[in-house]
Structure 1
């Protein structure tokens, strides 16, 4: 018995010593993560519609220290950021920036497209199940339902269990709705018929009181009274061509497309016209400040997100072209507006407490007549003329009437039912159309979208077409025009191609956790959402194909 107790005592002592030794030698686990995930109080995303990358530097010497210069010098710029898909349009750009995805996945393949099932055109943000809130027009019959994936703004809401506030603001409905995402607290856009900021019943039943009061001011009228003259003496606009050239479009009521533009013509009558002046950007950013103040953005326990799009740059650019005095003046005025906006954020939210990023939905081509005047490649193409020719050839050879229903986003849509009813060979019809298209002087190439893998075109262009192709919404044939050719009129310009003038966009971050710097590594529009997700420690959007800008996230 004594021996048993002795052995028990020895075992107990050995166990105690062993535990003591283990306790002494076992490494102490130290958490490398803070108790709370560090995030900014507010994120502000600014998409400048139709802003070519080179505008950051083209007018740099004329920018103030507090606007674009501050953004470039205090921020981090991914200088070589491109749109990875084609066509490059407004809705696609806004959706892809915020989803981190491409049209093939998020479904926004253009501002509008043709739906073969319903045999009608579809607008990217249309929704007849909702009603307009804020006016008695149909401008509010909109929602994000056509966008098939989540956005970074949706993911922020999910990550904070919907404590984060998300608001979208733009003159254009699509520039507000798509960035704000599916779960936004609000998206507001401008109704050109009434001069009011409105929304839809998708978000709310009634405008907030602060917005109802703001709409009573009819701020557009005050800017119309100013007319539009150049900010500085017109002879100092040396980065632009002359004020009156043949490629500039005249505004309604004007005799020539020259300064000063008589905006008083529109006061109280045509509120839509404010969009085609730099004051449209001023109104947008002023409204953004009011939203920050009225909704206490950046003042809560969770990170809020304000998605803003300045659309006036697009309207001005389409009408006058990127080498016009009008576009130079628009960017010089936007620079001033940005300076005021940054100062407001510094005061209201606090410098270092907000994360700001700037990008664009697309760039723009020089006007074809401008290119012609300077002996550069470029010209016009008639889409409708080619469709008429193709339909005649197809009917003569295959007995199919109006085989091509329409053309949208550089794509031809065929009437599959008519082809089937005629018992015609659809592959042969497409081949005829493609070969005929290739003979057009303005056409660079044409491809069968259902046989894209076997097409002999440069891989970069093939990838861009693939990323822009959605099986349920895209057409049957995609045609590529030569550099700086497009379907349009003799004045103004447009965008939509894979070329760098349309696809090379700015991408600059500034503020919270951002150190000044730049990278010339190639990045893509889709990387913006992925970068935000990495910085915020939240999930990427559901269709995200982008990757974080590591030079920024590893700072």
Structure 2
């Protein structure tokens, strides 16, 4: 575990002790399913580059990785007195093993099913810890995800649905070759770095060819369409808000960031992913954008709600319950349908005011 010198120069002693002692117990173990079948191993092995594989690479794709994170979270709660002071504390836990394993074996595999069962047990244990540590009456819990994932293309093909694992490196070379022919014939250049379906443009390479942003991004987008993309959105296009007023257009508009270099967001074909094996996300389709959102705590009304909801709704909802303003750039709404009614007597002010309905967006890191 690390931190940034922006916050402090040294890790607390308890974190240093954790780093030096706890990882060892997760090595050289078998990860088994409910029937005893071995689903994975954390034995020492070589990585892709031939060197010794690290903790993240080996343990990260098993349920032991989630155990490790929750173990750290418990230590954090104790040593930093989380939830015991006069002010509200926020603890955010990102469970990366689900993502790592999902990329490797897809969402329909026995390994992912077992990880879901293991996570259910791990969450129950952590919630029980919270109950003993500070009392669940003093805790609000939210559970969600930043994206879904495509099924393995090979699994989809068995259902007679078109699907493909692309060779992203080969496609990148083809796009750069086409751009070279268009802008600098006889002088090959690496105009694009492809993380399919996202293309990052080298501004210096285009500047050397005297090509401006708009023309460069359109040329890259058209080359991506030749490579199989259904459509594309450019950074300059998104900056001007020039997208169709459709659910698809709004998803890409919500994914715009002014930071970084020029880019093009390709719209991939359904169940088409960049890696040559495994699977991926970063598409606008429901299997990629449909994620859970569950909340727990005294302010919430128990039930299942079938209204439109997005992870971005968490921020204004929590802010409203805390009696503070929502973040300035928040585009979510307060989930009023999930809030418990105010007591018949006494005052319980949620401070809800017109946050409005934000456009549907694509969850991303």
Please indicate the TM-score interval, normalised by the length of the shorter structure.
0.7 to 0.9
Shift of 1:366: 0.5
Q: Compared with structure 1, are the counterparts of its residues 403 and 298 closer, same or farther at alpha carbon in structure 2 (3 Å cutoff)?
A: closer
Q: Compared with structure 1, are the counterparts of its residues 233 and 433 closer, same or farther at alpha carbon in structure 2 (3 Å cutoff)?
A: same
Correspondence 1:149-548 to 2 at 5 A: 197-217=1-21, 219-234=22-37, 259-265=38-44, 270-272=54-56, 273-399=58-184, 401=187, 402=189, 404-408=191-195, 410-423=197-210, 430-440=217-227, 442-452=228-238, 459-473=246-260, 475-490=262-277, 492-548=278-334
Q: What's the TM-score, normalizing by structure 1?
A: 0.55
Shift of 1:223: 2.9
Shift of 1:548: 0.9
Deviations 1:361-381 (A, max 9, x none): 211111111111232231122
- For structure 1, the 5+ residue unaligned runs are 1-196, 235-258
2:305 alignment partner, SS class: strand
Aligned residues of 2:299 and 2:340 also touching (Cα < 8 A): no
For residues 403 and 395 of structure 1, the distance between their equivalents in structure 2, rounded to whole angstroms, comes to: 8
Deviations 1:320-366 (A, max 9, x none): 21111111111111111111111111111113111111111211111
Aligned residues of 2:241 and 2:253 also touching (Cα < 8 A): no
Deviations 1:500-533 (A, max 9, x none): 1111111111123222112111122211111100
Greater Rg over alpha carbons, structure: 1
Q: Compared with structure 1, are the counterparts of its residues 198 and 550 closer, same or farther at alpha carbon in structure 2 (3 Å cutoff)?
A: same
Q: Compared with structure 1, are the counterparts of its residues 549 and 467 closer, same or farther at alpha carbon in structure 2 (3 Å cutoff)?
A: same
Q: Compared with structure 1, are the counterparts of its residues 458 and 232 closer, same or farther at alpha carbon in structure 2 (3 Å cutoff)?
A: farther
2:94 alignment partner, SS class: strand
For residues 529 and 424 of structure 1, the distance between their equivalents in structure 2, rounded to whole angstroms, comes to: 41
For residues 149 and 169 of structure 2, the distance between their equivalents in structure 1, rounded to whole angstroms, comes to: 22
Q: Compared with structure 1, are the counterparts of its residues 213 and 220 closer, same or farther at alpha carbon in structure 2 (3 Å cutoff)?
A: closer
- For structure 2, the 5+ residue unaligned runs are 46-51, 342-365
Moved over 6 A (4+): 453-456
Q: Compared with structure 1, are the counterparts of its residues 550 and 288 closer, same or farther at alpha carbon in structure 2 (3 Å cutoff)?
A: same
Q: Compared with structure 1, are the counterparts of its residues 302 and 393 closer, same or farther at alpha carbon in structure 2 (3 Å cutoff)?
A: closer
2:140 alignment partner, SS class: strand
2:199 alignment partner, SS class: strand
The structure with the greater share of residues assigned to strand is 1
2:60 alignment partner, SS class: helix
Aligned residues of 2:149 and 2:281 also touching (Cα < 8 A): yes
Q: Compared with structure 1, are the counterparts of its residues 226 and 542 closer, same or farther at alpha carbon in structure 2 (3 Å cutoff)?
A: same
Aligned residues of 1:531 and 1:553 also touching (Cα < 8 A): no
Could you say what the CA RMSD is over the residues aligned between the two structures, in angstroms? 2.8
2:32 alignment partner, SS class: coil
1:509 alignment partner, SS class: strand
Aligned residues of 1:407 and 1:413 also touching (Cα < 8 A): yes
Q: Compared with structure 1, are the counterparts of its residues 512 and 387 closer, same or farther at alpha carbon in structure 2 (3 Å cutoff)?
A: same
Aligned residues of 1:394 and 1:429 also touching (Cα < 8 A): no
Aligned residues of 2:102 and 2:279 also touching (Cα < 8 A): yes
For residues 2 and 290 of structure 2, the distance between their equivalents in structure 1, rounded to whole angstroms, comes to: 32
Q: Compared with structure 1, are the counterparts of its residues 221 and 472 closer, same or farther at alpha carbon in structure 2 (3 Å cutoff)?
A: closer
Number of matched pairs: 332
Shift of 1:298: 1.4
Q: Compared with structure 1, are the counterparts of its residues 501 and 474 closer, same or farther at alpha carbon in structure 2 (3 Å cutoff)?
A: farther
Aligned residues of 1:371 and 1:378 also touching (Cα < 8 A): yes
For residues 313 and 331 of structure 1, the distance between their equivalents in structure 2, rounded to whole angstroms, comes to: 8
Which residue in 2 is equivalent to 1:552? 338
1:261 alignment partner, SS class: strand
Aligned residues of 1:228 and 1:260 also touching (Cα < 8 A): yes
Q: Compared with structure 1, are the counterparts of its residues 388 and 211 closer, same or farther at alpha carbon in structure 2 (3 Å cutoff)?
A: closer
Greater relative contact order structure (CA < 8 Å, 6+ sep):
1
Q: Compared with structure 1, are the counterparts of its residues 290 and 390 closer, same or farther at alpha carbon in structure 2 (3 Å cutoff)?
A: closer
